[in-house]
Every structure is written in structure tokens, then in C-alpha cells.
Structure 1
């Protein structure tokens, strides 16, 4: 049995608030490199540009199990199995730990963790049967530490780090490789123009953190300018850069366990280990928005 080369990529829709554009960039790059790519998302209209490039597009909502089953079944029927799963679909929930409605927290985990976990479960039998496969998990620099205002989103990325590390050991004997990708902030990936853009289900109306949320919006302005970034924006990465690393994670015979993209993602884990938790905490308070 010839192993499948088919790639199932989630979160390829652009302009939906579900990704930073890395899914679309990765789909294009892999397709142009000759891989059979199935780019998926909740909104097929948002995938029209990829379809025009000749990429197979499918409806897939990681909170809808039947849509996941249908996508995996289609690829299996056409290629024997899913060869590579790129778990990219995600969104960022903004809110403080104490004020975010718990139903919003559940929705965040349903998309970023539980949906990813279920889809991974669905592709593993085919990978085991063919004796090979690859699971690529899009984590984040914020899978390494957390900051105020996005703690639940960052908690999902911490969860993915554990899932990836556990899964790697569990499936290595079947010829399946598991890769975590930890990008630094992506230019254009999180650019609220106002507090209203944060989509916090009215929690900003409590008044407890008004000054913080305004500063939060202003602070992220450094990542709005994608052509000529200044200040902190110069340390951010572009979606195309992340896509290039995804291609490396897919095509390498011996991929790295983690790909840390950009200076912040490579530097901060070493910095924390070197200076210790208390000094790192002071760094977080000095650099990031703090209530």
C-alpha cells in the first residue's frame, strides 16, 4: 500500500476571524509544491480563492462531528487515508478569567481543543493502517506562557502542547510523526481597531477593566501595519513565513518536534529558564498590557 500524500488542512477560510491567514497561505504553498491539498473551513464562499487555484475545498466545522467524518471519509475514499492532518482552525477569545461567560470559555475549548482532538482521532485509524502519517498542530508562542486578557485562548494553546507531546509517543510505533508549530505573533493576525472589535459578549461593560481594554487595543496596533511594521511589529512574523515552516514540517523526513518561528518564540523559553519565574513575571508586566 502506497502511503497517502493527501493533506487535510483545517481553518483555511480567510476573513472569518478563525485564523491569522496562515491556513490559506499554507494551502497555497503546499498545493504549488505538488501536494494534494484539501483546504477546509466553515464557509465555502471564503474558500473560493483557493478553489480557483485548483485546490480541493471542503466544508468542515471542527465543532460539527458529522462534517469532520464526511471530510475524512471523502479523502479516504480518494487516497486511502489522510496522509497529513494540519490542525490549524482556531480563534482567539478575549476576556479576563473572572469576567468571561463560561459558555464562551466552553466554545473556545470546543473549537481550539476538542474539535482538534476529535478530528485527530478520526484520521489516526487510516494512518495506522498504512503505517505512516503526520499530524501538525498549530500552537503559539502563547503555548509557552500567558498574559492578561487572553488567558482562556492561551490555555487552549497550552493544552495543545500537552496533547502533541503525549500523542507523539503514543503513535510513533505506527510510523506517525507529530509536530508542534509555535509562531510568534503574526502580522495582521490580531488587529482590533476598537474595544468593540474584541467581541467580548458585553463583559467590557462591567467597567472593571475599561482602561486595560483600551490599552489592550492600542498595544496591538503595532501588529496592524503589515507592509512596514514598526516597534514591536518588527518582531512579528508573516503568514507566508509560517506557511513555509508548515511545508517543512510536512515534507521533512525527520521533522523537528517543535518549530519555533520568529525571535520572540525562540528567545522567550530560554529567557524564562535562565532568569527564573519571578524575573520573567516582571518582564511580562513590563512588556504586555497589564490591568
Structure 2
């Protein structure tokens, strides 16, 4: 039986993925800072985890190994979006974004790899975003975190394949969760009153438009893709999901930078 540790399992995509994995017969440990909601997921064992605390990361991995003997699959699903202009976002907030979205994930990877190497097999699934392929204004630190996760995943894949370990990325575009509400709260906190206020207003208006919902993937669809990335015998290196996801990545690559900048400004309604 496959033993899986998944972060961000208290809500949203992580909770749905954890439930699907357990329904499929895997031994699933769901990790989050607050575990009460995880306890309600049938077949999922809650594990306390603070991604900004190295001791908590090590304790979470030790807990799973003590109870299950091994970790076959690590799914890094936890994360949030720090939005606001680069100028106005405090370095404290920027550090926290990188601690949660990047360094916490890497800490877990470092903790599970010795056991995977000893077993001669394993799978690491990093839930990234299309935001890891190209950047737009007012999301610089979130984009930076996902660019970093993409680069680290690519490097890691080349390093650990010799030990029978796979590394794969899942890249959702917009997803119908409360993630965007939280991101807009961060944007308002950082940039609602300063020199970038008009851009912040335009971005909030864009995400508040009901028509945008047509471009959102459901959490269940993203969770199902994560399960596929975790369990399929020969995983792809990247799994994208969302209407127009591949086209967006292609445009970011093929268009000149300033042309893509203009396209982004038009999309979000910036002056």
C-alpha cells in the first residue's frame, strides 16, 4: 500500500486530493497548521505542520515514518499568494511568502529523500501554478515563489532520478477556491492607498467579475490531476490545468516581453 504525505490538507485542493487518495486505498497523512478539519476526512490521518519551522517539518516526517514505516509520495500542496507591488510589500511579508511556498516545501523534500533513496523509489509532487511560468504586475513575490519551486523541481528531478525517484509539477491556472479572496486581501493591505492604488483597484475588479468564473477550474478537477501525478506509473514532468493554460504559456514564450506586458495590462484593465 502506498503511503502519502500531503500538505495543505485542511481545506481546498489539498483536502480534496487527500480524500481522493484515501478513497483509492492509499495510506494518507494530511498535514497543516490546524488539523481539526483533516480529522473529518475519512481515511486521512492528521499531522500538525508549520512550514516556517524546521523542527515542525522534521517532526511531521518522523511522525509519518513512525506510524507507516515509509513515505512513498510527498505532495507539496500548501501555499498562499502574497500580492502587492514589489516596492510596497514588506520584506517581512516577502520572506514569509518564500518560507511557506518554497523553503517549507524544500525542507520536507530534504526530510523524505533519505528514506526514498534507501527504498530505491519515491515520488515528489510539487503543486506550482501557471504563475511559475510567467509574471504579471502586483504578484511579484508570489510569482517569485513559484518560479523558484519550478527551478528547484527541475534541478531535483535530474539529481534524484538515479535513485528511482520521480519529481513532477502540477500547474493550475485559476481555481474556484477562496485563494483569490485571500490574495486580494493581501493586495489591499499592501497597495490600496499608494502610488499603485489604481492598478490594485483594477486587479480587484478583474477578479470580482462573475464572467471570470468560466475560466476557473474546479478544486475537484485539480485534485484529480494531483492524484494522477502522484500515482501514475510514468508521470509527466508537468501537468497543466485550466482553460487556455498551454496557450498562455506559449504566448509568454513566443511574444516579445513588452508585447506580453501590454497583453497583461489589457487583461487586468491597467491604464
Q: TM-score, normalised by structure 1?
A: 0.87
Match of 1:48 among 25, 31, 39: 39
Check conservation: 2:176, 2:219, Cα contact below 8 A.
yes
Match of 2:27 in 1: 36
Structure 1 runs of 4+ with >6 Å offset: none
Check conservation: 2:120, 2:165, Cα contact below 8 A.
yes
Check conservation: 2:39, 2:45, Cα contact below 8 A.
no
Task: Give the CA deviation at 1:208.
Answer: 1.7
Match of 1:284 among 259, 264, 268: 264
Pairs aligned (count): 271
Check conservation: 2:4, 2:71, Cα contact below 8 A.
yes
Match of 2:204 among 214, 217, 232: 217
CA distance, structure 2, for counterparts of residue 273 and residue 103 of structure 1: 32
After the TM superposition, which residues 54-93 of structure 1 pair with which residues of structure 2 at under 5 Å, given as runs? 54-93=43-82
Task: Give the CA deviation at 1:49.
Answer: 2.3
User: Structure 1: any 5+ residue segments left out of the alignment?
Assistant: 15-20, 223-229
User: Structure 2: any 5+ residue segments left out of the alignment?
Assistant: none
CA distance, structure 2, for counterparts of residue 59 and residue 220 of structure 1: 32
Match of 1:18 in 2: none
CA distance, structure 2, for counterparts of residue 63 and residue 121 of structure 1: 14
Task: Give the CA deviation at 1:289.
Answer: 4.6
After the TM superposition, which residues 216-255 of structure 1 pair with which residues of structure 2 at under 5 Å, given as runs? 216-222=203-209, 230-255=210-235
SS at match of 1:120: helix
Task: Give the CA deviation at 1:70.
Answer: 1.6
**171-180 vs 230-239, which moves further:** 230-239
Match of 2:143 among 151, 154, 158: 154
> What's the Cα RMSD here?
2.0
Match of 1:260 in 2: 240
Counterpart check, 1:101 vs 2:81 = no
Task: Give the CA deviation at 1:283.
Answer: 1.2
**Residues 102-131 of structure 1: CA distance to partner in whole angstroms, max 9, x if unpaired?**
111111111111111111000000000000
CA distance, structure 2, for counterparts of residue 152 and residue 282 of structure 1: 20
Task: Give the CA deviation at 1:151.
Answer: 0.9
CA distance, structure 2, for counterparts of residue 205 and residue 185 of structure 1: 23
SS at match of 1:70: helix
Counterpart check, 1:117 vs 2:114 = no
CA distance, structure 1, for counterparts of residue 269 and residue 161 of structure 2: 41
SS at match of 1:263: coil
Q: TM-score, normalised by structure 2?
A: 0.93
SS at match of 2:25: coil
Check conservation: 1:95, 1:150, Cα contact below 8 A.
yes
Check conservation: 1:42, 1:61, Cα contact below 8 A.
yes
Task: Give the CA deviation at 1:201.
Answer: 8.5
CA distance, structure 2, for counterparts of residue 46 and residue 269 of structure 1: 35
Match of 1:129 in 2: 118
CA distance, structure 1, for counterparts of residue 61 and residue 15 of structure 2: 19
Counterpart check, 1:6 vs 2:3 = yes
Task: Give the CA deviation at 1:5.
Answer: 1.6
